[in-house]
Amino acid sequence: MTNTTTPSVQPGDATEHLDAVIIGAGVSGMYALHHLRGMGLSVRAYDGAPTVGGTWWYNRYPGARVDGPSAPLYGYTFSAELVKEWDWTETQSSQPEVLSYLEHVADRFDLRRDIELETWVQDARYDEAAQRWTVETSTGRRVSAEFLICAVGALSAPNKPDIPGIDDFAGECLHTGDWPREPVSFAGKRVGVIGTGSSGIQAIPEIAKQAEHLTVFQRTPQYTVPARNRPLAPEELAAVRDNWEQVRAGMMAPPPPDAALPMMQGNGRSAYDETPEQRQALYEALWEQGTLAFVYGNYKELLVDEEVNREVGAFLRGKIREIVRDPETAEKLMPDHFYGTKRPILDDGYYATYNRDNVTLVDLREDPIEVMTATGVRTAAGEHAIDMLVLATGFDAISGSMLRLDPRGRGGIRLKQKWESQFHNYLGMMISEFPNLFMIHGPGTPGVLYLMPLGAELETAWIADCVSHMRDHGLGAVEPTHDAERSWDREVTAIADKTLFPRTDSWYTGANIPGKPRQFSVHLGGPAYFQRIAEVAEKGYDGFVFEPAVGERAGEG
């Protein structure tokens, strides 16, 4: 939630004192506000958007919806009342519905009185002597806080590709991750879409229905499985509500000790125990079922065993051949990476969209973009005239939003300096030389590969316990040791190295951003991660160093 214009706060302006500042009022920031305020802390959240919701405000492109575990699992779990009163209508909630839900949560828990919207944090620096962060905002406020909570979003720094001539394009140029406030019409337009990740694959079928012509510029073909979104039956919602405690406990259940990958145990069966016919029957059944069941209901070796994964990839390529009528187009759509090592995608008619007369696919691997002109995209093979360009080119993921904030820690060290060659942190939550700064869904957490609202709740609870520990013991500053950071990095990398993930270029590895250091940025432990951070706290915050409080807090505890 930062931008780069000059801070508007002038020297001498009054500084307000709070216990905690939260940057971001999306899913994580809203919950952090609720939780920390409930502990009696004075807290304020800042967000650059005109409303709460973070990613659910910015990603308002056509077709945007939860492409993960079905409703009501994509929602907060901390309040059974909230679960009982919010009527999700579909299994995979649409972006407008998720945004309405988050607006409801903001009202229901009276969060808005402590959120300043359309307010960018432009500067955040740590004052070692005072053990406090000073934050300056685009609206001219200067706030001092003991704790800085960065809920800046894992996928919130849009990646605008550096295509020669892109700024010369005279038509509209939109990014799926920063969609305009005003309604967008594609009617009668020749539209170009660059990017075929989750966002592009959700948007392309919708744009194709409206546009005069759609040209899709594809760099890497993708596997996608039918979303099979449908209305949520009242009895399904009732079953969750009536058994809420068990459902919630199930969401947090620790993985079995023999899980091949704690994050993804699949159906618990081994592909090696079944015949080729049985395996094909399972893939077929999972395809029919759609949803992320294709991952979670698959064999336990899916993401760790090359041979099993290759068979699944071949099955999915067979589906593309069945659906796409033109064999040449079908060949261009064939992915060849390990299935699931890029974020698994769910779609509503994506491959079939290429059967439409008004859709063209350009394979950038054989026909790369040379330049953009005022009127279109010129590839090696020729000019593609377009009136509108949609960039579905993703994000500088996970570490990108922290780098955009670029806080200054001890001695004025900038995060960009500290993370120049790779990100360093401990538990994905704290950074040495940046005391009292906590990240939610930071690099090295399960973040994007876990239930994000639940993950935010659990990480916030850990942060809150750490804050209470400090208050109880008269401590004023906490940060991890360099050794703890190094061993955390080794731990995250070691888990990833047991899987097929690092063998594919993806935003998990940083490979989508030219020049970004390659480092696996997700803790693949799933629920095991939360056991791990609990152990650290139980062992007296192993790997952290604390300083006694100075100033007003000295002697407390």
Residues contributing to the site for ligand N01 (CB under 6 A): 64-68, 155, 161, 176-177, 194-200, 202, 219-220, 343, 364, 392-395, 448, 507, 512
One-letter amino acid at 35 equals: H
We find the least distance from the C-beta atom of residue 65 to ligand N01, in angstroms, to be 5
We find the least distance from the C-beta atom of residue 61 to ligand N01, in angstroms, to be 8
Q: What is the DSSP letter of 515?
A: T
Cross-strand partners of 475: 548
We find the least distance from the C-beta atom of residue 167 to ligand N01, in angstroms, to be 15
Nearer to ligand N01, 153 or 407 (CB): 153
How far is C-alpha 423 from the chain's CA centre? 17
Is 269 in contact with 299 (CB distance < 8 Å)? yes
We find the least distance from the C-beta atom of residue 153 to ligand N01, in angstroms, to be 10
Nearer to ligand N01, 161 or 255 (CB): 161
Nearer to ligand N01, 48 or 510 (CB): 510
**What tokens appear for 299 in the block?**
């064999």
Nearer to ligand N01, 200 or 262 (CB): 200
Is 372 in contact with 217 (CB distance < 8 Å)? no
Distances (CA, A) of 144 to 131, 141, 259, 475: 10, 10, 45, 18
Distances (CA, A) of 82 to 51, 107, 535: 20, 12, 30
We find the least distance from the C-beta atom of residue 326 to ligand N01, in angstroms, to be 21
In the bound state, the residue with its beta carbon closest to ligand N01 is: 197
Is 426 in contact with 544 (CB distance < 8 Å)? yes
We find the least distance from the C-beta atom of residue 523 to ligand N01, in angstroms, to be 15
Nearer to ligand N01, 24 or 177 (CB): 177
We find the least distance from the C-beta atom of residue 490 to ligand N01, in angstroms, to be 25
3-state helix, strand, coil in the chain (%, to 5): 35, 20, 45
Matching residue, tokens 């020749």: 190
- Sign of the torsion formed by the C-alpha atoms of 124, 431, 507 and 202: negative
**What tokens appear for 236 in the block?**
């399904």
We find the least distance from the C-beta atom of residue 99 to ligand N01, in angstroms, to be 12
Nearer to ligand N01, 218 or 425 (CB): 218
How far is C-alpha 144 from the chain's CA centre? 29
Nearer to ligand N01, 68 or 192 (CB): 68
Nearer to ligand N01, 219 or 532 (CB): 219
We find the least distance from the C-beta atom of residue 389 to ligand N01, in angstroms, to be 12
Nearer to ligand N01, 192 or 394 (CB): 394
Distances (CA, A) of 497 to 485, 490, 510: 18, 10, 15
Q: What is the DSSP letter of 10?
A: P
Distance CA 367, CA 426 (A): 43
Task: Find, among 367, 286, 364, 352, the residue nearest to 322 by Cα.
Answer: 352
